[in-house]
Amino acid sequence: MAIKVLIPTPLRPFTGKKDVVEVEGATVGEVLTNLTEGFDQIRQHLYSEDGTFRSYVNIYVNDEDIRYLAKEKTAVGEKDTISIIPSIAGGADADIQEVESEIQLSNDEVLRYSRHLIIPEVGMDGQKKLKSGKVLMIGAGGLGSPVGMYLAAAGVGKLGIVDFDVVDQTNLQRQILHSTRDIGRSKLDSARETLEGINPNISIETYETRLSSDNALDLFADYDVVVDGTDNFPTRYLVNDACVLLGKPNVYGSILRFDGQVSVFDARRGPCYRCLYPAPPPPGLVPSCAEGGVLGVLPGIIGSLQALEVIKQLLGEGNPLIGRLVLFDALKFTFRELKLRKNSECPICGDSPTIRALIDYEQFCGIDKTGISRPAVDEKTEITVEQLKARLDDGENVFILDVREPREYEIVNLGVPLIPLSELPKRIGELDPSREIVIHCKMGGRSAKAAAYLRQRGFKYVRNLIGGIDEWTNKIDPTLPRY
């Protein structure tokens, strides 16, 4: 019976560049013996002169190391897969054809990229492709940090960065482009300094502006690949649609808490983001990193995968993540791959597209121009931190309710009762509907939902604290910890 043998990249030159070879055999030993008979040059990389497996090569059947099974006598069946895992990479010289291009590498660049140049899939030809490549990064934050740093180090010739934010202390746990000395500084200035320090041979273009339907097409036009490092749904759909309209690949990544996603959306060769998610979730349903949190190392992992996909796109090598969505669970350390299909009814890349120009993405995602989720709360039901402070200073007995999670309450609190938003329906009996209630969360989103919920159930005097405890610590009591 034929068994699938997965060939690692360093050994593919000896199997005719095949990454999977089907070989007959009933045991691991028989399969690998037959493999070396079919591809004689691979023998020296698997076996030592005495015929035993080399110490730096491990063999797996499915997910099990054969050293802990029956070694080379391990039985295999038609549903099994053998993986060759070399701990030390082997290689062979390959003929390198010169690229007919005006792009040249200086002696300094040859030395800098020497570890690329000796990889057959890159070489001088591929490094020149990287040098001529132009990549636009949307965001210089958690995902943009590893993307920018690795693309700069790899020698991508032109990096464009779109961002309009400044460095905040809460960024430093994950946004490794920036350091403590950059707090309060433009992220673009900080990013430029870091990336030029990594590689002075590349060109960096910065665009200190909010990406919008008015400027996206012009910004994207001159670039080969766009990298989505955004943290909100309006911009994510905007990036997708602009890439589809211009025929650009969109290297997508997203992160939250311990989970990450990565894919490549290219409507010319597969599905787009709208094929996967035709419509955004209701406003506030999916928490942002500011509310839900994110493990600091996670964007490093997902952003590195995005950088990998960009490099593959520019080199024209390997199998891109087009039509595939990779899910990463950091807690379980598991990767899952889901197959994505192009939606023939997709409104922008389907058979009969209805979107032929960029639209109002805030409206599409149910967000008004001020960034407040619809439906907007009536002004009579809101209160500012200054107004609340004045009433407390006047001695008013204001009932304040915190609807954050207990872990957030432990970080900082105002010494008021806590009922998490998720528990509010079953604990509503703890509240007095005849009393005025001021509700707060971290930034005002969850408390607005809580206020709306209580009003629907007969509470007439409910007010939402605008900006939440974050605004309180920022404007009223800066001695409190801010998160």
Which helix (DSSP H) or strand (DSSP E) does residue 3 occupy? strand 2-6
| Residue in the block written with tokens 């493990």 | 295
- Given the residues 272, 289, 349, 365, select the one marked as catalytic: 289
Type of residue numbered 272? C
pTM of the full structure:
0.73
Type of residue numbered 410? E
Torsion angle defined by CA atoms of residues 136, 138, 144 and 147, in that order, rounded to the nearest 10 degrees: -30
DSSP state string for 9-51? GGGGGGGTT-SEEEEE-SBHHHHHHHHHHHSGGGHHHHB-TTS
- pLDDT of res. 291: 73
Q: pLDDT tens track of the chain, all 483 residues?
A: 799 999 886 687 788 878 899 999 999 999 999 999 989 878 887 887 788 887 667 798 987 888 779 999 999 998 899 998 764 333 333 333 334 358 899 999 999 999 999 999 999 999 999 999 999 999 999 999 999 999 999 999 999 999 999 999 999 999 999 999 999 999 999 999 999 999 999 999 999 999 999 999 999 999 999 999 998 899 999 999 999 999 999 999 999 899 999 999 999 999 999 998 888 877 666 667 777 789 999 999 999 999 999 999 999 999 999 999 999 999 999 999 988 989 999 999 999 999 999 999 998 888 755 444 434 445 678 999 999 999 999 999 899 999 999 999 999 999 999 999 989 999 999 999 999 999 999 999 899 999 999 999 999 899 999 999 999 999 999 999 989
- Given the residues 275, 346, 365, 441, select the one marked as catalytic: 441
- Look up the CATH superfamily of 379-475: Rhodanese-like domain (3.40.250.10)
Residues paired with residue 85 on neighbouring β-strands, in sequence order: 58
Q: Which CATH architecture has domain 133-364?
A: 3-Layer(aba) Sandwich (3.40)
Among 446, 452, 444, smallest CA distance to 472 is for 444
Q: Name the 3-class secondary structure at 135.
A: strand
Among 463, 459, 464, smallest CA distance to 446 is for 464
- pLDDT of res. 297: 97
Q: Is 289 a catalytic residue?
A: yes
Would the CATH topology of 2-86 be identical to that of 133-364? no
Domain ranges of the chain: 2-86, 133-364, 379-475
- State the number of CA atoms in the 13 A half-sphere of 415 facing the CB: 2
For 139, the token pair is 């965001």
Q: Which CATH architecture has domain 2-86?
A: Roll (3.10)
Q: Is 441 a catalytic residue?
A: yes
The 8-class DSSP code of residue 378 comes to P
Among 112, 134, 111, 114, smallest CA distance to 122 is for 114
- For residues 383 and 440, the answer to whether their CB atoms sit within 8 Å is no
- pLDDT of res. 22: 94
| Residue in the block written with tokens 């030395």 | 111
CB atoms near residue 273 (< 10 Å):
24
